[in-house]
Amino acid sequence: MTDVDARLRPVTLDEWPAFTAAMHEVFAEEPPADFAERPSSVAELDRSLALWDGDRVVATSGIYSRTLTVPGAVVPCAGVTWVTVAPTHRRGGVLTAIMRRQLTDLHEQQREPVAGLWAAEYPIYGRFGYAPATVEARFTGRSERLRLRPDVDLGTGRVERVSAEEYRPAAVAVREAVGRFVPGTMARDDRWWDRQLRDDPAQRKGATARRYLLHREADGAVTGYAAYRVTDTWTDTGEPDGTLTVEEVRATSTPAYAALWQLLLSIDLVRTVKYPSSSPDDPLRWLITDGRALHSTPVDGLWLRLVDVDRALAARRYPTPIDLVLEVRDPFCPWNDGRWRLSGHPAGGYCARTDRDPDLSLGVEELAAAYLGGVSLATLQAAGRVTEISPGAVTLAGAAFGWPVTPWCPDSF
């Protein structure tokens, strides 16, 4: 154990102001006033780590206890957050010590089989076995070109503007219904819905308060919801040039989804539409008349790390049968290093150590990237990051690791 390892410890409630001040200083942010004094309801101080230098916090980290939808199943996921190291203490092994402590604790305590995080900078976390497993499309377009096709079925329901109080229970039910089928979805309990719907005026950046929509069928059942804001701007010649920022749109049917977008795309005084947390495979592109009018900027989303290869691979489902031996390289977590027999099918999976000859050789990063079904093992092979030992193994494994629904995680943390 290094000196840094020995000095890392959870932060106490009394120490929270110093902890959060150090964290926000690294991110060049001002913490919300209430958050600066007391942690939010989703914070788990017993899963935090702080490094002190005298009376000053110089490194921070934390874990949220989350639940993640994976192909065909739901698994516990350690949501890694609050990771900072003060500039005065970088390049001294501090971040490595934090990552090692987190992953070792998860392994030894047999807690979450996977960990996830949102990376502030791309190159940081690969060396600790994390890899991007979802993508944000970040759609944008000019409203005058974004029109639904005339043959789109809008159903017989209606879209109505509602209050936050009316919106929340209906949105919870719809999201639970659709989220279980989308790998990358993070479950939201009441605490996370509180956080999601928080609307601090100081954080709006010139936009309106959040506005809410529900789609109701003729019988009153809610089948969709949307949340958005509008930024009111004008050109030098007095023309409206507003921006609509869509935060979330979910629905249990195509007509409900289309009807919500029809209203969003027709809001007055808006000239630019943005959907920064959209899925790269959002059906909106196929609902509009001009697909080229919807521009996307793909950005890495949720990064994953397999804490325990056997537990993680056994937890998900496989759309086609697989029975292969994977030779896994994991220098950071040596308990994962070695050969694993993976046997899986649509109803479940099995993974255990074996002395059989390997069919594929790959790093734990590559497994993490492919875990949700959004990154092809064939693509990783083409990049030189997967080695096929048994002919045809990449094709078999690629089909088994794939999933018909593109992974997507709109919940950053």
Residues involved in catalysis: 125, 413
Q: Residue 113 has which token pair?
A: 């089989």
83 is in an annotated binding site: yes
Reduce the DSSP state of residue 230 to 3 states and report it.
Answer: strand
Q: How far apart are CA 407 and CA 117, in angstroms?
A: 15
Q: In this structure, what are the phi and psi dihedrals at residue 180, rounded to the nearest 5 degrees?
A: -65, -15
67 is in an annotated binding site: no
182 is in an annotated binding site: no
Q: In this structure, what are the phi and psi dihedrals at residue 211, rounded to the nearest 5 degrees?
A: -115, 150
42 is in an annotated binding site: no
Q: How far apart are CA 299 and CA 120, in angstroms?
A: 12
96 is in an annotated binding site: yes
Block residue for tokens 């790269």: 280
Name the amino acid, one letter, at 352: A
93 is in an annotated binding site: yes
- Whether 213 contacts 161, CB under 8 Å: yes
Q: In this structure, what are the phi and psi dihedrals at residue 83, rounded to the nearest 5 degrees?
A: -80, 115
Residue 117 CA neighbour count, 13 Å, CB half:
25
**Strand pairing of 158-162 and 211-216?**
antiparallel
What distance, in Å, lies between the first and last C-alpha atoms of the chain? Answer: 30
Q: How far apart are CA 380 and CA 366, in angstroms?
A: 7
95 is in an annotated binding site: yes
Q: Residue 18 has which token pair?
A: 């110093």
Q: How far apart are CA 196 and CA 296, in angstroms?
A: 24
92 is in an annotated binding site: yes
Residue 150 DSSP label: T
Question: Side by side, which strands form the sheet with 302-306?
Answer: 49-53, 56-70, 73-85, 114-118, 302-306, 131-132
Q: How far apart are CA 323 and CA 351, in angstroms?
A: 10
Residue 108 to residues 78, 114, 297, 364: CA-CA distances in angstroms? 14, 13, 40, 18
223 is in an annotated binding site: no
- Residue ranges for the binding site for acetyl-CoA? 83-85, 91-96
- Residue ranges for the binding site? 83-85, 91-96
